[in-house]
Structure 1
């Protein structure tokens, strides 16, 4: 037998057999019914025809006609199919096979194939393909089938197309065919029966066309049972190759043959619309984890979210069994998409649905939890409708939860004190500095933080809940018992507490500004000098040096993006703080809140007493609610500062371990540690890691994350189906064009009263801000690190946030007129615009130049 002829099972591989024949070889090994074949090698020498006659007699001993098709190496591949690019011939007589083989080789050099190689496959070179010679099947019906729908992307729906006779006309697109869509359970979802004019038949004279009788033209080519057989065949081929397949098939005498199989290459760009729905939203979490977030921060945050909300569910009375049953939702409350952190909203909805009595009052609980949009109907259907018995059980569960929360409210002050004590014990009683601990001791200290704090975050959770309840109750009481003129006094009543630690950094910056203001050269160095000049000037002033050291010891972890572990703190880079001191010195602002802050609170209290005069019961109720609102808001902000301290300690542990790994040459640099996940870092120390090639892992992730930084960010909100990191562009659904942001006024939520006019300074990155004294700070969102800009600002405008957000609370403590939640603020205002804000009514006006000059 000639070396130019290769038979199935020769174990020569795709390089010799080509794509089409290699697939058939694999299918035969898996037991599929494939008509006999052999291959003429593409690299056959000049004497290749010598063994052709013998091969044909072996394949078709009675002289049966054969099919002659291309089988190029790149054909029917996972990336490109080359479908229809090469010539194929059916019903070829033995004496014509050699000529048809040469015709196939010539087609490989055609302009059509060369254009496909260049434009679609991205290849310019051409090689002579192998040629497949296969026994013809005298099919009564034939066609193609897809194991997945190539149009919709549904992996669970097979598509079958059939035509009477041979399937060549269908494959070539010359004739229409019947088609069916078949579900995984065999159900025929829909069918389209075509009007068929002719059928192709294979006979002794080759392939011929035969007219179909008019009365049979609209009859289905296959019965439903045979449709299911073909769909099952396509799915078997997909299982064999591990990827969705596009097959050609033929049926002869009831016997189903598989003629060829190739990957459905177009599916790689299609998400499966039947896959599990996920809704991703970063509208709130971006304030804490903006931009690209490293694996270390994400893995730590994901762990914290899961365990904190497990605790909350236990607090409100959800059983451990129910919590474990829904562990999948709790583990996926946040996700990482192209390096950005998002809420997985459906996981949040499912967690919300675990709350006792949720089905009794779903809308109220959605509002209470701050959910902006109603629960998707897909989740509502998943939860089902409550029966009468379930409603009674829900009612009892709500009563139990109310009792638990009442008890929790009664002892919340004590719980907060105990939490502070536990936190100080864990953070402040280390026997040695972190730099002197062994790696195993550092890992053990992290585990202690995890055990004592991260998984025991009960007091902050309860306090946050009660702060929301009592502050909301105070607002509703004022609105119900007062008149329109009392609408905003609930904000004034909780202002100027004096015990909120978050306001202390701004007060200290003001004090350091006063210290520096007596030396013009020092002010200049702090405001505009180089880092070296600013540092030297600050250190040269003994009083400022002491104040600066004390500030860094207390608030060094309170920085921009403080919850991202990779963030450099003020201890690492104190320039943002030195610039803030310089601005405060230039502004000559006072160290304490303006006197009117306390006056406004006292005035609000007088107005409340007058409003409730002669109503002793209402006055008592209002007094109790006000006392609780003040205490809970204060503790909420102070506990958030303690969270900052915990994250700061974790950051230092991680960095210290990074230094040890760099010293051992396991990392190139200590900060490379942030490209590891927390369990990978601890696993390296504890022996549970799965790789020791940390350098290679870091290099891979660094390249990927740097690519994400260069790419446009995903949309703020988008949906995915099935595999989240699969074929999705993460761009969100198309939306109607937004109306232009026009007009000269906007209304937001007033946080602190006072009318201020000044020049707007729109700030996107506070590290690059050049806020001048007396300007109005304008931002889309803020985090605690922005407080360094507050001392120089005359007022504050924020596009997002609530009355309990950090910026609102600190503005009230500092007596800084502020308006938050201003729709479209940063698209409306530009730096340099003259604006006026009313911190009581929430009205913001953009002033015309002539109006601003006059005022």
Structure 2
């Protein structure tokens, strides 16, 4: 039987969505010890249209009697709590009726009817349409003990004008708060400023009459923001020197996701520094909702700072929040130069010294919490490293068995349970192997490469850390770099050294945009292998000859090194011997992670089959998919709008690899002087000046991907569909690459990318094949055109326009 009326203290977590935005929040606050006036919620089932059913009114009268026994004053507030009200998508502030200071049962019943009927008003319908919501609203109603305020106020836990999360901005008046909320009176303003550094908490700037309440207000607001996971708009009141919270809602202008339209932009959630330097190559295209939310669930254990996202979604692309790391370093006393050096080591890319990195003011508790979480993360990675060989041998078997189990699952309930019980835990566990393998390879190799560059120059340094495959046998994963496997596999299949079945078994899960769940894997497409063979046969390249040539170059460089630095031969040789195994493990784990993503795709396809949604399933979040499997289908109506925004995001060029502050991808794309490398909304970085000076000097700078110098003609390619345009010996220019681009590399004389880092896919494969590469240029695809003659200096990370 559906619940008709529910006390704040009795509302269950799973029923919060039925209580509306206001009711659900107030119940949460009451149950978690916040100072909230007591009350109850009249649920939607209590009404027939706008009339209370008799049984509901009997329960309401019973709860009113109980509340009247607990206080001297018998006045109540009757407030709306529509299902979309006070939500992350719409506040509906002032749109529905509120009736205050009612006492008798008759007055309360009339107030309930007034509030309930306000859902049909013209203002509500206009506001709903503007937010993309249905104009028909079901409305629970909150009845709450009335606080006759001496002081009434509103507090935003972030400055709503500047997005500065280091400041809380508020207003207050003397007396009841309705005039404040409605804007009918000029209010007093105040600010609560979070201070940086371990030993500081906040400062108060405002009227002395509120000052003594500021510490408690700050403490409650800070706690509430952390628990809710986003900035809050809090209504509060003070009566008889007691502070009460009357309601709290998300600051809708600082919400990064609109579930109705599918728009994602976490750069709106605050003033932060974001980067997708490594993510951009792993996930090169715009993500569908299911892909992003599965990724978000996988990284749930990586939440290092409560209340702040470690990673975010900007226009469908994944970014890392660097302000979290910068803020902790700042709190520990690191200066700006030290912070930049740390971030550059984390990203393997340059950050302009002129950039003002947004810093979050952290309390001592938050800083210590981060350090504890980060320490646990490092310890978990160290523990996981020991288990890498076992994971690599067992994961293919697990994936094969799980795909079979998914295909055999014939009911929605069983599929839902399978995800919760086995698939999600496995995916969350695999990410630890990914990070452990990346950390052990990158940390070791970056340091060694830097030392070798200072000792023998970039070209020889690159040679020394190439040759990562000690065998070209695609059947032996322990000796072959996994990212070279698909390329070598095609050549061996063409020469009939392996069968089609073997190729699919080894590499059928690797392909374009392989982390996106909506993209079919090569193994699913019967014609894919024939297309690859046709491309290879039209321009055959002896891959093994390129690898042998690179090994020969390595041997010559090593002989020169042994002659010039005999005292360092033993130590460098010992360290170099560790690079290749670490690299092969990293690439093998990444291959298995792609295999895991294929399992997640198979789950989504089966969910689409069982629900009748087909490929539309990819435009639901993973939680919504599970809800649909459980019979709740409300989110299905949002699919057309989400498909539309996804298509619009896909039409845009790849976004800058570094974003500081608020970023509008559509407005940015319209700017003819836009930057693909760095976007600084705060204006501290003179990106346009740097771009202008680069253009005038005909020099484009990036990161050294693979040493060597090559002069030739540019071929700019935006998508893989254009790959046949690349002629042998031309310089491949593109925004970013993933493993699907590997077959093009042997044809190229050199490689230039906007996105990338020294240890990214493009750089590693280019070094293995001995192809000069400059990666992470930011704006190369804007500055260069097909037919331009350039000199690529991979060792220096520089491209010179010659003609």
Where on the TM-score scale, by shorter chain, does this alignment land: which range? Answer: 0.5 to 0.7
- 1:809 equivalent in structure 2: 764
1:58-107 per-position Cα deviation (integer Å, ceiling 9, x unaligned): xxxxxxxxxxxxxxx98998979xxxxxxxxxxxxxxxxxxxxxxxxxxx
Q: Displacement, 1:562?
A: 0.6
Contact 2:754 2:780 in 1 (8 A): yes
> Distance between the aligned counterparts of 1:691 and 1:579, measured in 2?
37
Equivalent of 2:395 in 423, 427, 430: 423
- 1:773 equivalent in structure 2: 727
Equivalent of 1:328 in 302, 306, 324: 306
Structure 1 stretches lacking a partner, 5+ long: 1-8, 14-20, 32-72, 81-119, 121-143, 192-222, 233-241, 246-266, 311-325, 516-542, 849-855
- 1:562 equivalent in structure 2: 514
Contact 1:750 1:819 in 2 (8 A): yes
> Distance between the aligned counterparts of 2:391 and 2:758, measured in 1?
25
- 2:600 equivalent in structure 1: 650
Q: When the two structures are aligned, how many residues end up with a matched partner?
A: 596
> Distance between the aligned counterparts of 1:188 and 1:745, measured in 2?
51
Equivalent of 1:629 in 574, 579, 587: 579
Q: Displacement, 1:643?
A: 1.5
- The DSSP-based 3-state class of the residue aligned with 2:733 is strand
Equivalent of 2:281 in 269, 272, 287: 287
User: Residue 812 and residue 277 in structure 1: after superposition, are their counterparts in 2 closer, same or farther (change >3 A)?
Assistant: closer
> Distance between the aligned counterparts of 1:351 and 1:287, measured in 2?
27
RMSD: 6.2
Q: Displacement, 1:646?
A: 1.8
User: Residue 609 and residue 275 in structure 1: after superposition, are their counterparts in 2 closer, same or farther (change >3 A)?
Assistant: closer
Q: Displacement, 1:442?
A: 8.8
- The DSSP-based 3-state class of the residue aligned with 1:769 is helix
- The alignment status of 1:464 with 2:477, answered yes or no, reads no
> Distance between the aligned counterparts of 1:826 and 1:458, measured in 2?
35
Equivalent of 1:674 in 613, 618, 627: 618
- 2:48 equivalent in structure 1: none
- 1:26 equivalent in structure 2: 99
Q: Which has the larger radius of gyration?
A: 1
Q: Displacement, 1:760?
A: 1.5
Q: Displacement, 1:376?
A: 5.3
1:137-536 mapped onto 2 (5 Å cutoff): 156-158=169-171, 180-182=188-190, 189=205, 279-307=273-301, 309=302, 328=306, 332-347=309-324, 365-370=342-347, 378-379=359-360, 381-383=362-364, 415-428=387-400, 432=404, 434-438=406-410, 440=414, 444=418, 447-451=421-425, 454-455=428-429, 457-482=431-456, 486-498=457-469, 499-511=480-492
> Distance between the aligned counterparts of 1:30 and 1:182, measured in 2?
34
Equivalent of 1:599 in 552, 571, 574: 552
Equivalent of 1:698 in 633, 636, 646: 636
Contact 1:156 1:183 in 2 (8 A): yes
- The DSSP-based 3-state class of the residue aligned with 2:189 is strand
User: Residue 161 and residue 77 in structure 1: after superposition, are their counterparts in 2 closer, same or farther (change >3 A)?
Assistant: farther
> Distance between the aligned counterparts of 1:432 and 1:178, measured in 2?
67
1:636-785 mapped onto 2 (5 Å cutoff): 636-655=586-605, 657-658=606-607, 662=609, 664=610, 666-669=611-614, 671-681=615-625, 684=626, 689=627, 692-693=630-631, 696-710=634-648, 733=681, 735=683, 738-739=688-689, 740=692, 741-742=694-695, 743-774=697-728, 775-785=730-740
Contact 1:771 1:793 in 2 (8 A): no
> Distance between the aligned counterparts of 2:160 and 2:799, measured in 1?
53
- The alignment status of 1:608 with 2:561, answered yes or no, reads yes
Contact 1:479 1:487 in 2 (8 A): yes
- 2:799 equivalent in structure 1: 844
> Distance between the aligned counterparts of 2:450 and 2:190, measured in 1?
57
> Distance between the aligned counterparts of 1:746 and 1:275, measured in 2?
33
User: Residue 306 and residue 690 in structure 1: after superposition, are their counterparts in 2 closer, same or farther (change >3 A)?
Assistant: same
> Distance between the aligned counterparts of 1:755 and 1:571, measured in 2?
38
> Distance between the aligned counterparts of 1:508 and 1:275, measured in 2?
45
Q: Displacement, 1:328?
A: 3.4
Q: Displacement, 1:763?
A: 1.9
> Distance between the aligned counterparts of 2:557 and 2:516, measured in 1?
39
User: Residue 362 and residue 555 in structure 1: after superposition, are their counterparts in 2 closer, same or farther (change >3 A)?
Assistant: same
- The DSSP-based 3-state class of the residue aligned with 1:455 is helix
> Distance between the aligned counterparts of 1:763 and 1:460, measured in 2?
30
1:164-214 per-position Cα deviation (integer Å, ceiling 9, x unaligned): xxx9xxx99xxxx997424699x99568xxxxxxxxxxxxxxxxxxxxxxx
Q: Displacement, 1:830?
A: 0.8
User: Residue 648 and residue 354 in structure 1: after superposition, are their counterparts in 2 closer, same or farther (change >3 A)?
Assistant: farther
Contact 2:726 2:748 in 1 (8 A): yes
Contact 2:416 2:630 in 1 (8 A): no
> Distance between the aligned counterparts of 1:24 and 1:571, measured in 2?
58
User: Residue 415 and residue 244 in structure 1: after superposition, are their counterparts in 2 closer, same or farther (change >3 A)?
Assistant: closer
> Distance between the aligned counterparts of 1:190 and 1:783, measured in 2?
54
Larger CA deviation: 711-720 vs 364-373: 711-720
- The DSSP-based 3-state class of the residue aligned with 2:724 is coil
Contact 1:506 1:790 in 2 (8 A): no
User: Residue 744 and residue 353 in structure 1: after superposition, are their counterparts in 2 closer, same or farther (change >3 A)?
Assistant: closer
> Distance between the aligned counterparts of 1:601 and 1:22, measured in 2?
72
> Distance between the aligned counterparts of 1:834 and 1:577, measured in 2?
34
Q: Displacement, 1:644?
A: 1.5
Alignment TM-score, normalising by the size of structure 1: 0.56
Q: Displacement, 1:568?
A: 2.0
User: Residue 692 and residue 703 in structure 1: after superposition, are their counterparts in 2 closer, same or farther (change >3 A)?
Assistant: farther
Contact 1:292 1:709 in 2 (8 A): no
Equivalent of 2:505 in 553, 557, 575: 553
1:700-736 per-position Cα deviation (integer Å, ceiling 9, x unaligned): 1342342353268687666779xx99xx999972645
> Distance between the aligned counterparts of 1:345 and 1:450, measured in 2?
27
Alignment TM-score, normalising by the size of structure 2: 0.59
